[in-house]
Chains A and B, each alone.
Chain A
């Protein structure tokens, strides 16, 4: 499952869409909105994506993770729009026969996503807002 969405991420749906009966492990990563960044109190975040290209890049990363780590399936869901403190902005699920490959692939997928997928975060704090770059 590769998706950009404004709605909250349904983790049960994500795991069900990723796991197969040959998988003994599902590794899950959630990126969540925290209330402080660079010493400043954050009120909420706003995510903007280049729709179309963002999904293409996520597909490419998922495919590369499958070939690099030999895992069975990789799902990536990223939210856009306004998110409040504590919400998950991104969820990654990796299913594999064994846990080591699933966990390694999951780390690689979030690291790569953060450098390659055209999505931007605008941080709203007391007294203003900035694009994080």
Chain B
């Protein structure tokens, strides 16, 4: 299955992209996707802490299964206001 992966702010710069389509296993969860993206983008490997994740525009835990999810976003700590 294919998911759309989005990156924002500093993560976008680390990944070198704001969005990409990624093929994932049916059984994968958010943590597995993040690990695969770190392998793909060297800039993401330097991070010492995990970012926040959102599945289809709602905050998601790292063990959230990706089955049925179309969009996953990785988010640095927010700084709006």
Contacts and interface: CB of A to CB of B under 8 A. Distances in A.
Contacts of A132: 79
Categorize the interface residue count of chain B. 10 to 19
Interface stretch (B4-12, B21-29, B34-42): B4-12
Nearest to A58: B80
A48 to B, nearest CB: 6
A119 B78 contact: yes
B75 A50 contact: yes
A56 B76 contact: no
Interface core residue of A89, A115, A116, A118 (most chain B CB under 10 Å): A118
B81 A110 contact: yes
A115 B57 contact: no
A112 to B, nearest CB: 10
A125 B9 CA distance: 17
A52 B55 CA distance: 12
A34 interface: no
Interface residues of A, number: 26
Contact of B57 (A31, A56, A110, A119): A56
A113 to B, nearest CB: 6
A31 B10 CA distance: 23
Given A120-B78, A120-B80, A48 B57 contact: no
B44 interface: no
Question: Which of B6, B10, B54, B80 has the most chain A CB atoms closer than 10 A to its own CB?
Answer: B80
A114 interface: yes
Interface string B42-81: 0000000000001001100000000000000101111111
8 contacts: A53-B58, A89-B81, A110-B81, A117-B78, A118-B80, A131-B13, A133-B76, A133-B77
Interface of A: 31, 47-50, 52-54, 56, 78, 89-90, 110, 113-122, 131-133
